[in-house]
């Protein structure tokens, strides 16, 4: 856990981002209160890529803006590297890179010239520009004018700009929005690479596949509230299911249900699904009852179905601030 004495202690066990009971209310033009973030506890460990996943309008951008001091929290506390923010933001901001809104680059300058201007303005050595260009895969294209860049290249240049100060934490708000599949792949590779180099990345996204493919851990929010958090493996482990093929599925289901393994209908009449962490136990129980397996296969639960399950349950009975938006 982070220290509470105001001193940042960078051990591997520290939380790089921590929010407690974070709340943000907006006043609408009609004078009503819109709660964008309601009691959010966010805990992002050091190292790796952490997904910040939620449907459109679930409060991701608002949370990030509060963390960066761009919006004021209504209540709750926030810490970056163990330091309370926004009060002590100046002490940590040098270690935080963020791409939240489209950064401004000069269209007539090359990507490299743009980066050099930025690096000199923060007193970073010019060699940092070469490293950043290489990290985001723009080597060879950094001499082209910014205005000739594709959207994906512009986005990679934005990430390169944040790398100039060699951040320990990188916050990326929906970095693949508007990109084509090739652009998405390039950004994804860049992010994965950064995570492997030891940068802690907070990747906000409403695209499940993106988080599943790139992230080591994730927080899922809906309606500004925490729905689930943990390593991607742990988040998926809850739903371990196996497809069972047998000649007599009804008898087999009754038996497994009685032994505490929930079942559900399968894709055809000679199969069903069983939720269990112990497939060998399923084999044994059925074999002892003289029911012989014709097939037993793991059904990979993906983050998407888990996410949809969680957010669907979350919106049941609510007035419906949350909606699943399509991929942008």
Ligand X SMILES: Nc1ncnc2c1ncn2[C@@H]1O[C@H](COP(=O)(O)OP(=O)(O)OP(=O)(O)O)[C@@H](O)[C@H]1O
The region of 14-22, 39-47, 53-61, 109-117 touching ligand X under the rule CB under 6 A is: 53-61
The region of 51-59, 90-98, 252-260, 297-305 touching ligand X under the rule CB under 6 A is: 51-59
For the chain, the C-alpha Rg in angstroms (whole number) is: 24
Measured CA to CA, the distance from residue 209 to residue 122 in angstroms comes to 36
The beta-carbon contacts of 267-272 under 8 Å, at least 24 apart in sequence, are 267/243, 270/245, 270/246, 270/294, 271/243, 271/244, 271/245, 271/246, 271/295, 272/243, 272/244
Any residues with CB less than 8 A from the CB of 250 and at least 6 apart, and which? none
> Is there binding between residue 315 and ligand X (CB under 6 A)?
no
Binding residue for ligand X, selected from 36, 78, 133, 163, defined by CB under 6 A: 36
Measured CA to CA, the distance from residue 274 to residue 242 in angstroms comes to 5
> Is there binding between residue 327 and ligand X (CB under 6 A)?
no
Measured CA to CA, the distance from residue 82 to residue 221 in angstroms comes to 22
> Is there binding between residue 321 and ligand X (CB under 6 A)?
yes
> Is there binding between residue 56 and ligand X (CB under 6 A)?
yes
> Is there binding between residue 19 and ligand X (CB under 6 A)?
no
> Is there binding between residue 217 and ligand X (CB under 6 A)?
no
Look at the chain and count its residues: 328
Beta bridge partners of 173: 204
In angstroms, give the least distance from the CB of 68 to ligand X: 13
> Is there binding between residue 38 and ligand X (CB under 6 A)?
no
> Is there binding between residue 176 and ligand X (CB under 6 A)?
no
> Is there binding between residue 178 and ligand X (CB under 6 A)?
no
> Is there binding between residue 206 and ligand X (CB under 6 A)?
yes
Q: Where do contacts with ligand X occur on this chain (CB under 6 A)?
A: 26, 34, 36, 54, 56-62, 174, 206, 321
């Amino acid at each position: 856990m982070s220290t509470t004495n105001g001193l940042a202690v960078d051990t591997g066990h520290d939380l790089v981002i921590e929010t407690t009971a974070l709340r943000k209310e907006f006043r609408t033009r009609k004078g009503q209160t819109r709660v964008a973030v309601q009691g959010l506890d966010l805990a992002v460990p050091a190292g790796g890529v952490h997904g910040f996943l939620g449907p459109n309008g679930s409060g991701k951008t608002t949370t990030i803006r509060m963390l960066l001091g761009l919006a004021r929290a209504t209540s709750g506390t926030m810490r970056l590297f163990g330091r309370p923010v926004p009060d002590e933001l100046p002490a940590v901001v040098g270690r935080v890179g963020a791409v939240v809104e489209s950064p401004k680059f000069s269209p007539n300058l090359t990507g490299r010239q743009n980066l050099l201007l930025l690096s000199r303005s923060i007193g970073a050595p010019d060699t940092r520009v070469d490293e950043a260009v290489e990290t985001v895969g723009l080597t060879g294209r950094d001499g082209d004018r910014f205005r000739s860049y594709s959207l994906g290249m512009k986005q990679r240049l934005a990430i390169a700009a944040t790398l100039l100060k060699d951040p320990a934490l990188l916050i990326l708000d929906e970095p693949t929005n508007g990109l084509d599949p090739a652009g998405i792949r390039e950004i994804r590779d860049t992010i994965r690479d950064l995570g492997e180099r030891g940068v802690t990345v907070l990747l906000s996204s409403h695209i499940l596949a993106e988080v599943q493919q790139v992230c080591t851990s994730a927080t899922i929010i809906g309606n500004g509230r925490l729905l689930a958090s943990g390593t991607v493996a742990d988040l998926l482990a809850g739903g371990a299911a196996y497809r069972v093929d047998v000649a007599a599925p009804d008898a087999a289901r009754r038996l497994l249900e009685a032994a505490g393994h929930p079942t559900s209908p399968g894709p055809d009449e000679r199969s069903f699904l069983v939720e269990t962490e112990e497939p060998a136990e399923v084999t044994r129980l059925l074999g002892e009852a003289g029911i012989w397996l014709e097939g037993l296969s793991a059904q990979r639960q993906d983050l998407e179905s888990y996410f949809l399950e969680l957010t669907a349950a979350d919106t049941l009975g609510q007035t419906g601030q949350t909606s699943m938006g399509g991929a942008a």
